[in-house]
Amino acid sequence: MTPEGFTTGRFDHDGTGIAYDIGGSGPPLLLLHGFPQTRALWWKVAPHLAESHTVVMADLRGYGASDKPDDPALYSFRHMGGDMLALMTHLGFDRFAVAGHDRGGRTAHRVALDAPARITRLALLDIVPTEMILNQLSHPVARAYYHWFFLAQPAPFPETLIGADPDYYFESCLLGWGAAQLTDFAPDQLAAYRESWRDPAAIRAMCHDYRAAIDLDLPLDEADLGRRVSAPTLIGWGRDGAMGRAYDVAGTWADRIEQITPAPLPGGHFMIDSHPEEVTKALGDFFA
């Protein structure tokens, strides 16, 4: 269900089809979802942001209605970011703002490093740096974010276990990272998530995403430790989520981003679903 005023499109980038919705008018703003969701994450937020921006919501490769290539090497955040750069070029936007949650935030961070001249402003929601997660892992974070290492196991181990009951597994993810219950998720959005994650190709693709994080993204981020994002950046996090409990989230980015606006938000990791009004206000104020 595309929000009123938005139209759905599809863009082919080097043989990978990317599904997106676009609506509104004004400066371009790209919204990126995370695991295990789709662009439906933004359905309650995007119409309000579209009052002052041209809003693009896209499914990352491997998720939702976008294509799902069967090769872990094609799921780095650089590949995902390349899709988004090409999409925004296709739509006529040379420079744009971007907000990303979870994997979408990691993709947005990579885009800001790889194509800094194209990013006007950046918002990263409920993530700490990938390199820090993997190289400075604490016991509480390992217990909460065990899925990073479960999903990265060789195929078909995680795919087989998840495939036995996708709703059970992925709903455990929605509820497992702090301050969430199933009623926090709007029925139409939850139905969109379920439709996506019940697809065996999507299960496989999400595993590839996490395999690539360890094998490809970690070395890329280690190589970029001396670089800082120049675009003004909002760092948001759920005050009751696993990241908010384990880290000074804004502080984890202090040596990686030049200009940071901290934004503690109500709820846990999935605060966009559970508290869309507060997230909309934070993003609207920042991107204004």
Q: What pTM was computed for the model?
A: 0.98
Share of the chain above pLDDT 90, in %: 98
Q: Is residue 206 part of a domain?
A: yes
Instruction: Look at residue 238 and tell me whether its pLDDT is greater than 80.
Output: yes
133-159, pLDDT tens digit by residue? Answer: 999 999 999 999 999 999 999 999 999
Average pLDDT (191-211) is: 98
Q: How far apart are CA 56 and CA 50, in angstroms?
A: 9
Share of the chain above pLDDT 70, in %: 100
Q: Is residue 182 part of a domain?
A: yes
Pick from 47-56, 87-96, 171-180, 220-229: least confident? 171-180
pLDDT score recorded for residue 257: 98
Q: Is 221 a residue of the active site?
A: no
Q: Is residue 178 very low, low, confident or very high in pLDDT (cuts 50, 70, 90)?
A: confident
Q: Is 269 a residue of the active site?
A: yes
Burial of residue 200 (number of CB atoms within 10 Å: 0-12, 13-18, 19+) = middle
How many domains, the chain?
A: 1
Q: Is residue 93 very low, low, confident or very high in pLDDT (cuts 50, 70, 90)?
A: very high
Q: How far apart are CA 55 and CA 98, in angstroms?
A: 10
The CATH number for 133's domain is 3.40.50.1820
Q: How far apart are CA 37 and CA 202, in angstroms?
A: 11
Domain range enclosing 121: 6-287
Alpha helical stretches, state H, 165-256: 166-175, 187-197, 200-212, 218-223, 242-246, 249-252
Length of the chain (residues): 288
Q: How far apart are CA 11 and CA 187, in angstroms?
A: 28
For 268, residues 6+ apart whose C-beta sits below 8 A from its C-beta are 177, 178, 179, 180, 238, 240, 241, 242, 244, 274
Q: Is residue 1 part of a domain?
A: no
Q: Which of 48, 79, 269, 275 is catalytic?
A: 269
Cα atoms found within 13 Å of the Cα of residue 86, Cβ hemisphere only: 18
Number of other CB atoms surrounding residue 169 within 10 Å: 18
Q: Is residue 120 part of a domain?
A: yes
Q: Is residue 1 very low, low, confident or very high in pLDDT (cuts 50, 70, 90)?
A: confident
Q: Is residue 271 part of a domain?
A: yes
Q: Is residue 41 part of a domain?
A: yes
Q: Give residue 240's region: left, alpha or beta (phi > 0; psi -120 to 50).
A: alpha
Q: Which of 102, 126, 240, 273 is catalytic?
A: 102
Determine contact, residues 170/37, Cβ cutoff 8 Å: no
